Structure 1
C-alpha cells in the first residue's frame, strides 16, 4: 500500500463528521459524571472504601466490550440500518438512564443508582462498538486519521463536560438537575441519528460462531505477533507516566484543586487539541511518518515528567516549570493514540468491523490501564524517577520500532470470513 495522498477536500459529508463527534462525546457524558460524582458523594457521607471502590469498577466494563462486539456484527436491523439500529437503542438507553435516576437519592438509593450506573457503562461501551464500526465502514482511508482525532477529542470533551463542568455545577444545581442535563446532552446525538445513512453496500451478517472465531483468527491477518506486540508496547509508556502524574504533583506539595485544574481541565483541552491536529496531519504526512513522529512526541512527553529530578520543578524548583512539564505530557500522548487507532481501522474487515476494532482496542486499553495500575507498585520498588525512566525506555523502544515499514502498512486483506446462514 502506498502512502496516502494529501487531501484538502473531505469526501465524508459534514453531517457525518458532526454525528461522529457528537456520539464520541456523549458516550462519556453520564459515565464521566457518575465516576467522579458518586465517589465524592459517598466519601462525603462516610461510606466504606469497599463501596467507593465499586464506582471504579464502572470503567473496567469497556475493557470487556470485545466479548459482545461479535453480537453487534451478527445481529442487526435491515430497515433501520445494521449498526444504526444499535446506535438508536444504546443512545436511547443513555438518555433514559439519567432520567430514571432523577427521582433517586444517590446515597440513600445507592443500590438502584449503582445498577443504573452499570447499565450506563454497558450501554456506552456498546454504543462505542457500533460507532467504531460505522466509522470503519464509512470513512475512506484518507479520512480515518481525522476520524480518530475526533474520536479521541470527543472522548476527552465528554469526560471534561460530564466529569468536570457538571461535577463543579452539582453543589449549585443538585442531583436531579444534573441528571436532566445529562439526558438532554445525550439526546442531541439521538436526534442526529435520524439523518444517518449507513454505507450503500449491504452488510451480510456473519455467523456468530465465525465472528467469535475472529478473536483468534484476526491476528494472522493483521500482522501476527508483531502487531499484537505494538499494541502492548506503544501505550505502555504513556500509561505508566499517566499513573504517576497525580502522585508526582502531590509529592511536590500541590493541592487537589490545583491538580484537578491542571490535569482535568488544561490537560483535557491540550490532549483534545493535539488529537485533532494529529488527525488533520496524518493524511498529509502519510502513515509511516505520522507513526514515527507520534512515537517521538510521546517519548518527549514521557521524558518531560522527569523535570523534578533535573531541578526544573518540585521541591526547590519552579512550580511553573512542573506545570509546563505536566501540560507537555498531556499535549504529547494523544497523537500516538490517534495514529494507532487509525492503523487499527486499516486492519478491520467490513463484515466484522465491530469485532476486529474492539479486539485491537481492548489490547491497547489493557496495556494502557495495566501500566497505569502498575506504576504505583513499581514506584514502591524502584522509586518514582526510575519508574519514569522505565516508561521513557519503553517510549524510546516504540520510536525505534515505528521505523519498520510493515507497521504502517497493513497486510493485504485476507479472504473474508465466509457468511453462514443467519442464526
Structure 2
C-alpha cells in the first residue's frame, strides 16, 4: 500500500520511476502471496481445499475483470494519481483479515525446527513426480496465450471484441468454473479432473492449429475456442493448486507450494517468451500444432504420474 501511494506521485510518462516502483510492488506482492498460500495450505483441511482454491480462483478472476475496468474508469474521470490511490486503498483491504488469522493449525506451531529449503522438498517421497507435473502440465499454454491475441488481430477481430471475450470468459470461469472444478475434484478426484481439462485444452489448441491451416473457417469457430481456452486456464489453476496443497509438507507449506507454482509459471512464461519467434519462423499453424502435441503429451504424462496417488503432505520430514 505504501509503495503504491508513492507510485501515485510518479510521472507516468517517465519510465524509470514506474519500473522501480513496479519491481517493488512485484516483490512485495510475491512475498505476500507466498505467505498467503502457505497459510492456506496449513489451515485448510483436505476436504476444504477444493473450495478454498475455488474461492481464490474466483477472487483472482473477478479482481482482474472488475479492477481493470474500474481503474480505467477512474483514470478517465480523475487521472493517474486518483487511480493509483484507489488501487492502494483496495490493496489495504486484506489487512482486515490479519486480526482474525490463527497461526496454529491442529496444535502445530507455525515455527519449524529446520530452515525451509529446496533440499527438504526434494527429500520427500514422490517429490520428483509432483515437480514433473508442475513443470509439464501447462508447458504448451504459453505458446498459445502469447500468440492468441496477435492471431485474432491478424484475423481483423476488433480489439473491443477480444477484450470482452477474455473478460467474460474470465468472469464466467472465475465464478462458475472454479467451483465446478472444486466439486468435481471432490467427487471424482484431481487426476480425472486434470485429465479432462487437459484433454479439452488439447482440442482447443488443435482447433487453433486447424483454423490457422485453413482446415476450419469462420471467425466464431476461433472465438469459441479462445473463450473456452481462457476459461480452462482459470479452472486448471484451481485443480493444480489443490494438488499442490495436498502434496505440500506441514513443515514448510509455503516453500513447497511456491516451488511447485513457480515451476508451472516458469514453463508458462518460457513458452510465452519464445512463441513470437516460433510463430515468425514457422507460422501460426505449426506453432499451435506444436502446442497441441505438447498439451496431449503433458496430459498423458500427468495422468500416468498421478496413477499411484500423492500423500506427500502426510509424510513427516
Over the aligned positions, Cα root-mean-square deviation in angstroms equals: 2.5
With normalisation by structure 2, the TM-score equals: 0.88
C-alpha deviation, 1:114, in angstroms: 3.5
Q: Does 1:126 align with 2:31?
A: yes
In 1, Cα distance between equivalents of 2:136 and 2:101: 37
Q: Does 1:396 align with 2:296?
A: yes
Q: Give the 5 Å matches for 1:93-112.
A: 95-107=1-13, 110-112=15-17
Q: Does 1:363 align with 2:268?
A: no
Q: Does 1:302 align with 2:205?
A: yes
C-alpha deviation, 1:408, in angstroms: 6.7
C-alpha deviation, 1:148, in angstroms: 1.9
Determine which of 182, 188, 195 is the counterpart of 2:100: 195
In 1, Cα distance between equivalents of 2:263 and 2:172: 25
Q: Which secondary structure state, in structure 1, belongs to the residue aligned with residue 111 of structure 2?
A: coil
C-alpha deviation, 1:276, in angstroms: 3.0
In the other structure, the counterpart of 1:331 is: 231
In the other structure, the counterpart of 1:421 is: none
Q: Which secondary structure state, in structure 2, belongs to the residue aligned with residue 235 of structure 1?
A: coil
Determine which of 133, 137, 145 is the counterpart of 2:50: 145
C-alpha deviation, 1:373, in angstroms: 1.5
In the other structure, the counterpart of 1:155 is: 60
Q: Which secondary structure state, in structure 1, belongs to the residue aligned with residue 13 of structure 2?
A: coil
Q: Which stretch has the larger CA shift, 147-156 or 371-380?
A: 147-156
C-alpha deviation, 1:101, in angstroms: 3.0
In the other structure, the counterpart of 2:111 is: 205
**Unpaired segments ≥5 residues, structure 2:** none
In the other structure, the counterpart of 2:152 is: 249
In the other structure, the counterpart of 1:165 is: 70
In the other structure, the counterpart of 1:70 is: none
Determine which of 278, 282, 290 is the counterpart of 1:378: 278
C-alpha deviation, 1:347, in angstroms: 1.2
With normalisation by structure 1, the TM-score equals: 0.68
In 1, Cα distance between equivalents of 2:100 and 2:54: 23
Cα distance change of structure 1 residues 378 and 305 upon mapping to structure 2, 3 Å threshold: same
Determine which of 253, 267, 271 is the counterpart of 2:169: 267
Q: Which secondary structure state, in structure 1, belongs to the residue aligned with residue 237 of structure 2?
A: helix
In the other structure, the counterpart of 1:182 is: 87
Q: Which stretch has the larger CA shift, 382-391 or 407-416?
A: 407-416
In 2, Cα distance between equivalents of 1:230 and 1:415: 19
In the other structure, the counterpart of 2:188 is: 285
In the other structure, the counterpart of 1:230 is: 133
Contact 1:237 1:302 survives alignment (8 Å) = no
In 2, Cα distance between equivalents of 1:300 and 1:146: 27
Q: Does 1:116 align with 2:16?
A: no
Q: Which secondary structure state, in structure 1, belongs to the residue aligned with residue 251 of structure 2?
A: helix
Cα distance change of structure 1 residues 407 and 347 upon mapping to structure 2, 3 Å threshold: farther
**Unpaired segments ≥5 residues, structure 1:** 1-94, 418-423
Q: Which secondary structure state, in structure 2, belongs to the residue aligned with residue 141 of structure 1?
A: coil
Which of structures 1 and 2 has the larger relative contact order (alpha carbons within 8 angstroms, sep 6+)? 2
In 2, Cα distance between equivalents of 1:249 and 1:171: 27
In 2, Cα distance between equivalents of 1:189 and 1:415: 32
In 2, Cα distance between equivalents of 1:364 and 1:193: 29
Over residues 363-416 of structure 1, what are the superposed CA-to-partner deviations in whole Å (9 max), with x where a residue is unaligned? 111011111222112212322111111111112113322433645721455764
Cα distance change of structure 1 residues 415 and 408 upon mapping to structure 2, 3 Å threshold: closer
Q: Number of aligned pairs?
A: 315
In 1, Cα distance between equivalents of 2:267 and 2:308: 20
In 1, Cα distance between equivalents of 2:36 and 2:188: 26
In 1, Cα distance between equivalents of 2:283 and 2:16: 40
In 1, Cα distance between equivalents of 2:285 and 2:279: 8
